[in-house]
Amino acid sequence: MKFAVIVFPGSNCDKDLYFAVKDSIHAEVEMIDYRETSLDGFDAVLIPGGFSYGDYLRSGAIAAHAPIIKTIKKMAILGKPILGICNGFQILTEIGLLPGALMRNRQNKFICETVDLRVENSQTIFTSEYDYDEIINIPVAHGEGNYYCDIATLKQINDNNQIVFRYASDINGSVDNIAGIINKEGNVLGMMPHPERALEEIIGSDDGLKMFQSILKSHMNRVNL
C-alpha cells in the first residue's frame, strides 16, 4: 500500500504523518507537493495538520484552491481512503468532501492537550481495529476546531452513522461534541485530534496506531478478495 502525504505551505505535521506510516505500519509513503496534479500509483491520501497558507482568510480556504485538490477529489470518487487531520479536516470541509465547517474554539484560545475521544463508529476503513464506544486518548492542537453544522445536517450525519469520534467532554464548543466525521461513502474521514501523535506509550498514548493499522488492513482485505 502506498500513501501520499500532501504538503502545503504552512503544513507542520506532514513529517509526523510520513513517519507514522513509514515506521509504525511499515508501508510505502511519499511527501507530495501541493502543486502536483497527479496521484497515480497511490492508494491513500493523508492531509496533515498545520497552518496552510498561514490560515489567512480562514483555515483551509486558500489550500482549497491548490492544484492538487482536483486530484484529491478524483481519488475520493474512486473510493480511495482520504484522511484529513486538523487543518486537513478544515480543508476537506472547504472543498466539499465533508459537510459542516470548523470555527474558532468557543473559548477563543488555542488548545493543546491530550483528550478522551469516544469511538462512535468502528465499522469504517479507518476504525475497524477499535471497538465501538471505546475511549481513546489522542492529542489535540487547534484554535479553530469548533465543528459546526446546521440542524438538518446534524440529523443527516447522525442518521447515516457518519459521526466517527466524539469528545468525551466539551473541549471547544463543537456541535454534539463532534471530533471527527466521515462521508456517506465511508472513504473520507476528517478529524481534529492527531492520531499520528499517539503512536507510542512512551509519549503518552499509542491509541492512534489502530487508525493506521485499520487503513492498512482494509487495503489488504480488498487486495486479497
Residues forming the active site: 86, 194, 196
Q: Which three cell numbers stand for residue 145?
A: 476546531
138 contacts 114 by C-beta, under 8 angstroms: yes
Closest CA to 208 of 136, 141, 131: 136
* Grid coordinates of 57: 482568510
How many CB atoms neighbour CB 176 within 10 A?
15
AA identity, residue 17: L
Cα distance between the two ends of the chain:
15
CA atoms within 13 A on the CB side of 205: 20
CB 158 within 8 A of CB 133: no
Would you state the cell numbers that stand for residue 135, as one nine-digit string?
Answer: 475511549
Q: Is 101 helix (H, G, I), strand (E, B) or coil?
A: strand
DSSP run (H or E) holding 191? strand 188-191
